[in-house]
Chains A and B, each alone.
Chain A
């Protein structure tokens, strides 16, 4: 009984931890939106904007990755 409650808690916790990915998705979308707008207005700046966009995406994606690591750690009983 106690074991199955622990099991359920692990799965629920892993699912809840992934909620943070929603924010990261919004962040990635916003940075792509800004970069695409800039590229459309000024196609010459394509290279610079692409670099900065990838950097920004990596920053917001890192948050989703933190969530993913936490939920993996919960799922596979690492900690």
Chain B
């Protein structure tokens, strides 16, 4: 038995690499690579078009379909998720054949999903946990990958140059058809960069569609749990003639509930989009102002990592909470609420 304490010299390598990374990043982002400070990218709320002409003129008879730069990222995200699912499945199958001990990615995903499932079961109760967990985990993992992918280097920075209609940036040729933007703006003959990749959660289309899916699923689960009685939450006319005063108040509350369902879509969509868009703008502006001190954008990127994880968590957990509320019913039906959801709160 050797109990000699190992000198942790590897830690110093990590620290050294961090310092070197800061220094090299500062040089590259600042003046080292091209002799120019970082360029403030053109900030648009909508995704930029990679090709000016639409690829499908009349998509589903609605509108022209453009190749925007969130589309490649969407493909990348989905391919990545499918690959992770495939390898997890393979790893779990292999462990099923041998000794039932999951290893590698299967173990990791099992740990994550088990924690999430326990969280769902704690607030939804055993009866609905399976149904709700499916939506919760899917949305959460999808949004997590969407949020984290936008932090990769190359996103928002490499792309095609379009001639600007108004003010644009001057460019300098690098050869081989590649050029880079210069930081100063010109009135005429400038260019605007449309990056190849843009994080999908920085596109309002993604967040709105995800919010629609979440809210519609909440209604569907409500109908599954309570049948047509779910509508009583919104159209509560039962008490109007029995107890006129409180009946009218109930009716008003029902209408407010109906409005709040639509407000949920908006708040879901704008919370995610706002956080991610603010992150993009923050990093862009801070890099263009003090980008030559690379620690500042690096710290902002770290903060973006935190925000991305938190927002994915919030999106998922809000879906879960709304679903639990939809299954729990309203008013006197609360005695049938799943066990654990009400009692556990009071015990703590």
Contacts and interface: CB of A to CB of B under 8 A. Distances in A.
A69 B275 CA distance: 9
Interface string B123-134: 000000000000
B281 interface: yes
Interface stretch (A1-9, A27-35, A70-78): A70-78
A50 to B, nearest CB: 11
Given A58-B311, A58-B314, A73-B45, A48 B278 contact: no
Nearest to A61: B275
A76 B119 CA distance: 41
Given A45-B348, A58-B310, A72 B271 contact: no
Contacts of A66: 270, 274
A54 B313 contact: yes
Interface string A13-56: 00000000000000000000000000000101100100100110
Given A45-B348, A58-B271, A78-B45, A72 B310 contact: no
A42 B271 CA distance: 32
Contacts of B313: 54
Contacts, number: 47
B277 interface: yes
A76 B277 CA distance: 13
A72 B317 contact: no
Interface residues of A, number: 19
A62 B274 contact: yes
A69 B348 CA distance: 38
Contacts of B277: 69, 72
A68 B278 contact: yes
Contacts of B311: 58
B185 interface: no
Given A54-B314, A65-B271, A66-B274, 4 more contacts: A69-B273, A69-B278, A72-B278, A78-B43
B93 interface: no
A47 to B, nearest CB: 10
B275 A65 contact: yes
A65 B271 CA distance: 7
B267 interface: yes
Given A54-B310, A55-B314, A72-B43, A42 B348 contact: yes
A48 B274 contact: no
B282 to A, nearest CB: 9
B7 interface: no
Contact of B278 (A42, A55, A65, A79): A65
Interface in B263-284: 267, 270-271, 273-275, 277-278, 281
Q: Which 4 A/B pairs are nearest by Cβ-Cβ distance?
A: A65-B274, A58-B314, A62-B271, A69-B274
